[in-house]
Chain A
Amino acid sequence: MRSSRNSWLTVVVLFAALIVLALLSANSLGSFGITILSGLFQGMLLFLVASGLSIVFGLMDVLNLAQGAYFMIGAYVAYDIQHAGGLIDVTAAIPDPNIRFVFAVIGAILVGAGLGMLLERGLLRPLYSRPIFQLVLTFGFSLVLIEIVKAVWSTTPYSWTEMFGIREGFFELFGQRFSTYRLFVVGAGFALIIVIGLLLQRTRTGIIIRAGVEDREMVQALGINIKMIFTLVFTLGCAVAALGGAIAAPFLGASITLGNAFLLQAVAVVVLGGMGSYGGTAVASILVGLAISVAQDVAIGTNFAALSSITPMLLLVLVLLLRPSGLFGSSR
């Protein structure tokens, strides 16, 4: 109980420090709003990569280094479905770009899920008792995915050109224009945090996953096929990462470096939140997103443009000094 109180106290202090820094570096309420919204946007994208990483690690003790590649694949698949002249050209069949975007996101989720299931059932399953082999395998698989992307879509990065309703929209607050799409991503991220949270807390599958994080041998001894749960969780984690890539693509485009850039930050988020803690991952994603955004603001006009890139690691070091198991991690 006391540990939980200390965790929340640390979180509140860190959030307060970031808000104060954001206020100090902003020259108006409008730019402060942009910093916060941008931070939440980045935080939600990070959550989409980190949540799968965290649940899979908690349940299966597998650090899936291919998680970033699934994010990248999601971006490419969504880009391809949305734009004319791609591998899957549906522009004639679905002329409305808004509806096409929905299909693009669903397509990305399905491809992510399919590739996730392939990796878990086909390659990872025989290596559950060999953690080092798992790391090498998932890292190798991410390289294979990158090579497949290069072969299919070339190495040239794609910028999203096809506009649709929420991507085009803006709204005004404190005299500043905010992108409706960023707000959509933040909303979708929060909705997903709640949906996955409800899945974990309120369903039988969720109870099994939480129990499996603690003691999978005992879960199995209760008559539950833990391998099936492994497949389900791994597939879900990859699908969520691909979803992240799909909804990030209209803003960030699709490129082969997209996945690894997010993977490193996502690993920092998972450790910061506490390995295997879903709630910790959600909180840490928002913290890191805000910290990156504030660092970008602070770095304006200085010669230290790299500040935002190293901020997740600085935050990680700071938190681990205070709480070696991360914000909400157990000391298992």
Chain B
Amino acid sequence: MSENVLEVSNIHTFIGGFHILEGVSVRVPIGAITVLLGRNGAGKTTTLRSIMGITPPIQGSITFCGIPISGKSSNTIAQMGIGFVPEHRAIFKELTVLENLQIAERKRGDLARKSDFIFELFPDLKRLISLPGGSLSGGQQQMLAVARALVPDNRLLLIDEPSEGLAPVIIEHMIRAIERLSADVSVLLVEQNFRVASKLAQNYVIIEEGQSPAQGRISDLIKDEVLIQRYLGVA
């Protein structure tokens, strides 16, 4: 059995005739947080969407817990145990907070079993349970999006830009929550905010122009100013 929960090897993805991913490889070790770093438009979000089967790759392989998943539909991939928190949250605005959580159940009783953990992680959601998702603030919507991915028994969470557009105090809350949940589930994160990424993740993969030129331990990346400058433009 591999020590990686997810292995993405040399995937190529096209969107509307554009070659977006030109050979991306990512490894996500079991029980760790791995972050995809890179500039805007580098292909980070497409990498997550390709793993999820939303924009399926036409070449390369993706295995989850040793089982090939490329070519499968996104609902089958989700059923196998991958939770997805997309960019801009994609919560259902017309549904209440409770309904947003209920819809994520894969087995009857999933929410009942996980509700204590979810509301401990995000206490605000309990108070807002009967409100429509659209009436929540950006931070609350982000909490709901992450909480929704925690309802079923997932082994891997794909989280796209959890800190995007949030106030610093909410970002801190989100960092603590992701740290907490990573004790039970592996996480692959897209994060533009290098400070947040370096605080959260143990491993990194740099995505640049649809390729993955570097990956390793984040503790090594923090010391490598040349790499940071070249690919992330962070001083």
Listed in ascending order, the chain A residues whose CB lies under 8 Å from chain B are 204, 207-208, 210-211, 213-215, 217-226
Contact = CB atoms under 8 A, between A and B. Distances in A.
26 contacts: A204-B102, A207-B102, A207-B103, A208-B103, A210-B94, A210-B95, A210-B99, A211-B92, A211-B95, A211-B103, A214-B93, A214-B94, A218-B86, A220-B78, A221-B74, A221-B75, A221-B78, A221-B84, A221-B86, A222-B84, A222-B104, A223-B75, A223-B78, A223-B106, A223-B152, A224-B75
Contacts of A207: 95, 99, 102-103
Nearest to A226: B75
A208 B152 CA distance: 16
B73 interface: yes
A215 B79 CA distance: 18
B74 A220 contact: yes
Chain A binding surface SS class: helix
Interface residues of B, number: 22
Interface centre among A208, A222, A224 (most CB of B within 10 A): A222
A204 B90 CA distance: 19
Interface in B95-109: 95, 99, 102-106
A112 B152 CA distance: 37
A219 B78 CA distance: 10
B148 A222 contact: yes
Given A207-B99, A208-B103, A211-B103, A218 B92 contact: yes
A214 B92 contact: yes
Contact of A225 (B75, B84, B104, B152): B75
A215 B75 contact: no
What are the nearest 7 A-B pairs in CB distance? A223-B78, A218-B90, A223-B79, A211-B92, A221-B84, A220-B74, A220-B75
Contacts of A218: 86, 90, 92
Contacts of B102: 204, 207
Contacts of A204: 102-103, 105
B103 A215 contact: no
A229 to B, nearest CB: 10
B150 interface: no
A214 B100 CA distance: 12
Contacts of A224: 75, 103
B42 interface: no
A231 to B, nearest CB: 14
A221 B52 contact: yes
A313 to B, nearest CB: 29
B54 interface: yes
Given A207-B99, A217-B90, A220-B74, 12 more contacts: A204-B103, A207-B102, A208-B103, A210-B92, A211-B95, A211-B103, A214-B95, A215-B90, A218-B86, A220-B54, A222-B103, A226-B75
